[in-house]
Amino acid sequence: RSQLLGEGGETARARLVRRRGGAGGHVSETLKDDKKRQERMQEELASMTSALKNNVKAIHSTIVEDNARLSTMDTDMAKNVNKISTTNVKVDEQRARNQRTTCFQCLTVIVVTTLFFATFFLMRLSSKAPVLAQVAVPHIMLPSSPFSGAAAEVRFSCATPGATIQYSADGSHPGRDALAFDAKAKDSPSV
Protein backbone atom coordinates (compact mmCIF):
# COMPACT_ATOMS: atom_id res chain seq x y z
CA ARG A 1 0.00 0.00 0.00
CA SER A 2 2.84 2.37 0.80
CA GLN A 3 4.40 1.62 -2.58
CA LEU A 4 1.17 2.39 -4.43
CA LEU A 5 0.06 5.35 -2.41
CA GLY A 6 3.34 6.56 -1.07
CA GLU A 7 4.01 7.35 2.53
CA GLY A 8 1.10 8.68 4.54
CA GLY A 9 -1.48 7.16 2.14
CA GLU A 10 -1.33 10.04 -0.31
CA THR A 11 -2.41 9.26 -3.91
CA ALA A 12 -0.32 10.14 -6.94
CA ARG A 13 -2.94 12.73 -8.01
CA ALA A 14 -2.83 14.36 -4.56
CA ARG A 15 0.94 14.54 -4.72
CA LEU A 16 0.71 16.00 -8.19
CA VAL A 17 -1.68 18.68 -7.08
CA ARG A 18 0.38 19.49 -4.04
CA ARG A 19 3.48 19.76 -6.12
CA ARG A 20 1.82 21.89 -8.76
CA GLY A 21 1.41 24.57 -6.29
CA GLY A 22 5.13 25.07 -6.52
CA ALA A 23 7.44 25.37 -9.54
CA GLY A 24 6.73 23.60 -12.84
CA GLY A 25 9.88 21.44 -12.61
CA HIS A 26 8.32 19.51 -9.87
CA VAL A 27 5.55 18.22 -12.13
CA SER A 28 7.93 16.54 -14.54
CA GLU A 29 9.92 15.17 -11.64
CA THR A 30 6.75 13.77 -10.07
CA LEU A 31 5.75 12.19 -13.38
CA LYS A 32 9.17 10.58 -13.67
CA ASP A 33 8.87 9.23 -10.11
CA ASP A 34 5.39 7.88 -10.87
CA LYS A 35 6.64 6.32 -14.09
CA LYS A 36 9.50 4.61 -12.22
CA ARG A 37 7.05 3.32 -9.62
CA GLN A 38 4.75 2.02 -12.34
CA GLU A 39 7.65 0.25 -14.06
CA ARG A 40 8.78 -1.26 -10.77
CA MET A 41 5.22 -2.39 -10.05
CA GLN A 42 4.97 -3.76 -13.58
CA GLU A 43 8.17 -5.80 -13.04
CA GLU A 44 6.89 -7.10 -9.70
CA LEU A 45 3.56 -7.96 -11.31
CA ALA A 46 5.36 -9.81 -14.13
CA SER A 47 7.53 -11.63 -11.56
CA MET A 48 4.44 -12.61 -9.55
CA THR A 49 2.68 -13.71 -12.76
CA SER A 50 5.68 -15.84 -13.71
CA ALA A 51 5.82 -17.37 -10.21
CA LEU A 52 2.06 -18.03 -10.37
CA LYS A 53 2.46 -19.63 -13.80
CA ASN A 54 5.26 -21.89 -12.49
CA ASN A 55 3.12 -22.82 -9.47
CA VAL A 56 0.16 -23.65 -11.72
CA LYS A 57 2.43 -25.83 -13.90
CA ALA A 58 3.77 -27.64 -10.80
CA ILE A 59 0.26 -28.16 -9.44
CA HIS A 60 -0.92 -29.37 -12.85
CA SER A 61 1.89 -31.95 -13.11
CA THR A 62 1.17 -33.11 -9.55
CA ILE A 63 -2.51 -33.46 -10.39
CA VAL A 64 -1.67 -35.44 -13.55
CA GLU A 65 0.62 -37.78 -11.55
CA ASP A 66 -2.06 -38.19 -8.86
CA ASN A 67 -4.68 -38.96 -11.52
CA ALA A 68 -2.37 -41.60 -13.03
CA ARG A 69 -1.84 -43.15 -9.58
CA LEU A 70 -5.57 -43.05 -8.88
CA SER A 71 -6.26 -44.70 -12.24
CA THR A 72 -3.73 -47.47 -11.46
CA MET A 73 -5.22 -47.90 -7.99
CA ASP A 74 -8.72 -48.05 -9.47
CA THR A 75 -7.60 -50.77 -11.92
CA ASP A 76 -5.90 -52.73 -9.10
CA MET A 77 -8.97 -52.35 -6.92
CA ALA A 78 -11.20 -53.67 -9.72
CA LYS A 79 -8.88 -56.70 -10.09
CA ASN A 80 -8.95 -57.27 -6.33
CA VAL A 81 -12.74 -57.02 -6.28
CA ASN A 82 -12.86 -59.69 -9.00
CA LYS A 83 -10.45 -61.90 -7.02
CA ILE A 84 -12.52 -61.43 -3.87
CA SER A 85 -15.70 -62.29 -5.76
CA THR A 86 -14.07 -65.45 -7.16
CA THR A 87 -12.78 -66.39 -3.71
CA ASN A 88 -16.21 -65.81 -2.19
CA VAL A 89 -17.76 -68.13 -4.77
CA LYS A 90 -15.13 -70.81 -4.00
CA VAL A 91 -15.69 -70.38 -0.25
CA ASP A 92 -19.46 -70.72 -0.71
CA GLU A 93 -18.97 -73.89 -2.80
CA GLN A 94 -16.60 -75.35 -0.20
CA ARG A 95 -19.02 -74.44 2.59
CA ALA A 96 -21.82 -76.27 0.73
CA ARG A 97 -19.57 -79.33 0.26
CA ASN A 98 -18.60 -79.22 3.93
CA GLN A 99 -22.26 -79.09 4.95
CA ARG A 100 -23.00 -82.12 2.78
CA THR A 101 -19.95 -83.90 4.21
CA THR A 102 -20.94 -82.97 7.75
CA CYS A 103 -24.48 -84.24 7.17
CA PHE A 104 -23.07 -87.46 5.70
CA GLN A 105 -20.73 -87.87 8.70
CA CYS A 106 -23.58 -87.30 11.16
CA LEU A 107 -25.76 -89.78 9.29
CA THR A 108 -22.89 -92.30 9.30
CA VAL A 109 -22.39 -91.88 13.06
CA ILE A 110 -26.12 -92.35 13.64
CA VAL A 111 -26.21 -95.50 11.47
CA VAL A 112 -23.10 -96.98 13.13
CA THR A 113 -24.46 -96.21 16.58
CA THR A 114 -27.82 -97.78 15.69
CA LEU A 115 -26.09 -100.88 14.31
CA PHE A 116 -23.93 -101.10 17.44
CA PHE A 117 -26.93 -101.03 19.77
CA ALA A 118 -28.91 -103.41 17.52
CA THR A 119 -25.98 -105.86 17.58
CA PHE A 120 -25.66 -105.45 21.35
CA PHE A 121 -29.36 -106.20 21.96
CA LEU A 122 -29.29 -109.07 19.47
CA MET A 123 -26.34 -110.56 21.34
CA ARG A 124 -28.15 -110.13 24.65
CA LEU A 125 -31.23 -111.88 23.27
CA SER A 126 -29.23 -114.64 21.63
CA SER A 127 -27.17 -115.26 24.75
CA LYS A 128 -30.10 -117.30 26.07
CA ALA A 129 -29.32 -119.94 23.43
CA PRO A 130 -27.62 -123.05 24.78
CA VAL A 131 -23.87 -122.84 24.98
CA LEU A 132 -21.94 -125.92 24.02
CA ALA A 133 -19.86 -127.13 26.89
CA GLN A 134 -16.17 -127.64 26.60
CA VAL A 135 -15.26 -131.28 26.33
CA ALA A 136 -12.13 -132.67 27.86
CA VAL A 137 -9.60 -134.20 25.53
CA PRO A 138 -10.31 -137.93 25.07
CA HIS A 139 -7.63 -140.50 25.94
CA ILE A 140 -6.84 -143.42 23.68
CA MET A 141 -5.33 -146.48 25.28
CA LEU A 142 -3.53 -148.78 22.86
CA PRO A 143 -2.60 -152.42 23.58
CA SER A 144 0.84 -153.07 24.87
CA SER A 145 1.71 -155.56 22.11
CA PRO A 146 2.37 -154.33 18.59
CA PHE A 147 -0.21 -154.87 15.87
CA SER A 148 0.39 -157.96 13.83
CA GLY A 149 -2.50 -157.87 11.42
CA ALA A 150 -4.98 -159.21 13.97
CA ALA A 151 -7.66 -157.19 15.64
CA ALA A 152 -6.56 -155.23 18.68
CA GLU A 153 -8.53 -153.76 21.46
CA VAL A 154 -8.37 -149.94 21.71
CA ARG A 155 -9.93 -148.19 24.64
CA PHE A 156 -11.34 -144.67 24.64
CA SER A 157 -12.05 -142.57 27.69
CA CYS A 158 -13.15 -138.99 28.34
CA ALA A 159 -13.35 -137.04 31.62
CA THR A 160 -16.44 -135.11 30.49
CA PRO A 161 -19.59 -136.98 31.54
CA GLY A 162 -22.04 -137.72 28.68
CA ALA A 163 -19.47 -136.88 25.97
CA THR A 164 -19.66 -138.66 22.62
CA ILE A 165 -16.41 -139.75 21.06
CA GLN A 166 -16.50 -139.95 17.27
CA TYR A 167 -13.87 -141.74 15.23
CA SER A 168 -13.06 -142.99 11.75
CA ALA A 169 -11.71 -146.35 10.79
CA ASP A 170 -10.03 -145.27 7.55
CA GLY A 171 -7.69 -142.61 9.02
CA SER A 172 -9.70 -139.61 7.82
CA HIS A 173 -10.64 -136.74 10.10
CA PRO A 174 -13.90 -137.60 11.89
CA GLY A 175 -16.77 -135.13 11.41
CA ARG A 176 -20.24 -134.96 12.91
CA ASP A 177 -21.40 -137.89 10.76
CA ALA A 178 -18.51 -140.12 11.87
CA LEU A 179 -18.85 -143.30 13.91
CA ALA A 180 -19.56 -142.76 17.59
CA PHE A 181 -18.06 -144.80 20.42
CA ASP A 182 -20.60 -145.84 22.99
CA ALA A 183 -18.99 -146.84 26.30
CA LYS A 184 -22.19 -148.56 27.52
CA ALA A 185 -22.41 -150.94 24.58
CA LYS A 186 -21.06 -154.41 25.12
CA ASP A 187 -19.73 -154.69 21.61
CA SER A 188 -16.98 -152.12 21.47
CA PRO A 189 -15.62 -151.50 18.01
CA SER A 190 -12.33 -153.01 17.13
CA VAL A 191 -9.80 -151.26 15.02
pLDDT in tens, 136-158: 888 777 777 666 666 667 777 78
Query: Residue 176 carries which side chain, given as an amino acid letter?
Result: R
pLDDT digits (tens, 9 = 90+) for 74-110: 999 999 999 999 999 999 999 888 888 888 888 999 9
Return the closest-CA partner of residue 94 out of 86, 80, 110.
Answer: 86
